Amino acid sequence: MSVNAQPKDPIRLALSQLNARVGDLQYNASQIASAIYQAGSSGAHVLAFPELALTGYPPEDLLLRPKFIAETQTALLHIAEETRRFPSMLVIVGFIERRAVLFNSAAILHNGELIATYQKQYLPNYGVFDENRYFQQGNSTFLIQFHSALIGVSICEDIWYSAGPATIQGYAGADLLINISASPYHTQKWVERERMLATRAGDTGALLAYVNMIGGQDELVFDGGSCIFSETGAVIARSPVFTEDLLIADLPLEGAFRQRLRDPRLRQAHMEQTPHIIHVPVAYTPIDASAKLVSHIAPHIDADEEIYEALKLGVRDYVQKNGFHDVVIGVSGGIDSALTAVIAADALGAEHTHGVLLPSQYSSEGSLTDAAQLAKNLGIQTYTLPIQPIVDVVAATLKEPLGELVFGLTYENIQARSRGITLMALSNALNWLVLTTGNKSEMSVGYATLYGDMAGGFAVLKDVWKTQVYRLALFRNARAGFDLIPRASIEKAPSAELRPDQRDTDSLPPYEILDPILQAYIEDDIGLEEIINLGFDEHYARRAVQLTDKNEYKRRQAPPGVKVTRRAFGRDRRFPLTNGYHEWTVKKTYDQ
């Protein structure tokens, strides 16, 4: 009688939701080794790590360097040696596999040996992904016989396809499907992700475990949310988001068998699938009944908190992973700089966050008092450095060639650039990273000054719409229980304060009108005519689309920032700088 004909023993599964550092093989290997010890000491039978946990994700053009590839292979051998400490545990680690070409692979490790590799079959090449640039797709699907369990392994994108490897493994009789992933965050992504995972578990009648990376990497944030689903598609365990976690759960395997008894479609599908089986002989170590685990299901958080935590994690990891300790922010008394400062203080600590008030002759007294109150509320160090002397010198220098042209918009930009010069000087001298404060609405329409308010190392709110900025400010105040961000900063009309009585609405539609137009055009790729047909004012819509098209050159020169929407500038939305196609121009016919 085969092992599969006998009742299935329960297994203890561990999912290591870790924060890898791209290219830091030694650090990543040490984190993996630590999790191996923790899971093994907890009696885990199987331990899984995220996609490319060894290298971090995405390693991008590091993958074009043979020396880096060779060092990843060496690091994997060291990790394999760590598994000798727990010979009854199977370990699954995402790594770069070198053959004649490169594969995005999962190493199956047991008792010091690399017993198999699974090669990712579906390579995403859309949005932020460009895996076809580096990897060859795999074409082999197998099952692992470990104890009495049949286990199928897949990698990230593989499981999003209804006829993909996970489905084949499930139909072939897998008791447990394990998907290792590095899935970048955007707002409420967990909804579509968990819906898909629940469907895949229910369709195959197998338990399904999904382990995701967390952490910030350049503009990407990985949110974690690792989870386990029953054979009917119900969540039975879930890690919290935006934090490292080792999720451990005891999984009864007989449920998958019972599900197949009840569903004749699964039996029919089983007859049509024949992936080969890799046997890993090992004595079963029973789960200690007296120490049986109660699976933890971390609750979901709402959309505003989710975005806020993503921004906080993105700032912390970008600053710290790039070797900085402190940041500096030009605080104006407005809502954008206030929210940026609060996020920075939450991410790095007030002692590592510095504010600079940069008043000009047009700065209102209210703006200065609001900025000072914010700094007091946060407990951050501030400096007041008036920019008018710098502005006067630059204007005087330009007076001969420009005459009266030195005033107007040119004079406004001189002020913004004087602020940029001052902040960058502090950055150079004190090794403080400058955080810029512009939001996605402003970046969309070019309401920002190159080498002025755009000057800096990291753009915290780059992918946050202005209307979202207000919601996040109110959310953070509610969490604080008082007006951490001064009420006046939230309620006053937005202004760059670069000329007398200036308001953003002098140049732009109100943000509650502008943002939906921009979202339709930028995130949903809806054309101008269709936007107008949706009921938006034609003048506002045409103006917003025109400004968006004309300011691509500014966005290309902007610092990186945290991606939180489905379609961020840069990695997601890529438009040519030199572009002759514009919907906002007067239509021409080809016979003119």
- Spell out the SS3 assignment of 327-359: EEEECCCCHHHHHHHHHHHHHHCHHHEEEEECC
- Output the six-digit token pair for 341: 């400062």
- Please give the pLDDT value at position 494: 73
Q: Residue 1: what pLDDT?
A: 31
Return the pLDDT at 289.
Answer: 63
Residue with the bigger pLDDT between 504 and 381: it is 381
pLDDT value for 12: 93
Nearest C-alpha neighbor of 146 from the set 12, 35, 311? 12
Cis peptide before 500 (omega within 30 of 0): no
pLDDT for 269: 61
The mean per-residue pLDDT over the stretch 348-354 comes to 97
Residue 528 predicted with pLDDT over 60: yes
Q: How far is CA 428 from CA 327, 329, 421, in A?
A: 12, 14, 10
* Residue 530 pLDDT > 50: yes
What pLDDT, in 10s, does the model give residues 195-250? 999 999 999 989 999 999 999 999 999 999 999 999 999 999 999 999 999 999 99
Q: What is the pLDDT of residue 287?
A: 79
Mean pLDDT of 374-390: 94
Q: What is the pLDDT of residue 260?
A: 74
pLDDT level of residue 589 (50, 70, 90 thresholds): low
588 pLDDT band (50/70/90 cuts)? low
**246: which strand partners?**
16
Among 2-6, 21-25, 115-119, 172-176, which stretch is predicted with the lowest mean pLDDT?
2-6
Per-residue pLDDT band at 2 (split at 50, 70, 90): very low
Instruction: Quote the pLDDT of residue 157.
Output: 95
Catalytic residue among 82, 97, 156, 497: 156
Contact status, residue 275 vs residue 151, Cβ threshold 8 Å: no
Q: Please identify which residue in the block is written with the tokens 């961020």.
A: 568
Identify the band that residue 572 occupies on the pLDDT scale cut at 50, 70 and 90: confident
pLDDT, tens digit, 9 for 90 and up, residues 34-65: 999 999 999 999 999 999 999 999 999 999 99
Whether pLDDT at 272 is above 70: no
Which is more confident, 282 or 369? 369
Helix intervals (H) in 64-212? 66-82, 165-171, 189-204
Q: How far apart are CA 333 and CA 505, in angstroms?
A: 18
How high is the pLDDT of residue 3? 43
The encoded tokens of residue 151 equal 């286990």
Element (H or E) spanning 467, and its range?
helix 466-480
Pairing relation of β-strands 235-238 and 214-217? unpaired
- Average pLDDT of the chain is 90
Q: Does 334 score more than 70 pLDDT? A: yes
**For 414-438, what is each residue's pLDDT tens digit?**
989 999 999 999 999 999 999 999 9
User: Is pLDDT at 308 greater than 60 in this prediction?
Assistant: yes
Q: Is the pLDDT of residue 409 over 90?
A: no
What pLDDT shows up at residue 506?
Answer: 74
What integer pLDDT is reported at residue 257 of this predicted model? 72
- pLDDT higher than 90, residue 282: no
Structural domains present in the chain: 3-287 (3.60.110.10), 303-502 (3.40.50.620)
Residue 591: pLDDT above 60?
A: no
**Please, which residues bridge with residue 211 across strands?**
180
Taking alpha carbons only, the member of 102, 103, 107 closest to residue 48 is: 107
Bigger pLDDT: 363 or 515?
515
The pLDDT tens digits for 99-146 are 999 999 999 999 999 999 999 999 998 878 889 898 999 998 999 999
- What is the reported pLDDT for 355? 96
The pLDDT value recorded for residue 267 is 58
Q: Is the pLDDT of residue 4 over 60?
A: no
Catalytic position from the list 8, 51, 231, 440: 51
Structure tokens at 463: 């992918």
Q: Closest Cα partner for 93 from 241, 211, 220, 11?
A: 211
Query: What pLDDT score does 515 carry?
Result: 94
- CB atoms near residue 433 (< 10 Å): 22
Instruction: Between 69 and 501, name the one with better pLDDT.
Output: 69
Secondary structure of residue 98 in the 3-state scheme: strand
Position 304 confidence tier, pLDDT thresholds 50, 70, 90: very high
- Report the alpha-carbon distance of residue 559 to residue 457 in Å, rounded: 6
Active site residue 292: no
Q: Name the active-site residue from 82, 97, 120, 462.
A: 120
CA-based nearest residue to 178, from 248, 92, 105: 92
pLDDT value, residue 279: 87
The model carries a pTM of: 0.92
Q: Is the confidence at residue 303, as pLDDT, over 90?
A: yes
Whose structure tokens read 């029919």? 268
Q: Looking at residue 278, what is its pLDDT? A: 87
Which percentage of the chain shows pLDDT scores above 90?
73
Active site (annotated) includes residue 51: yes
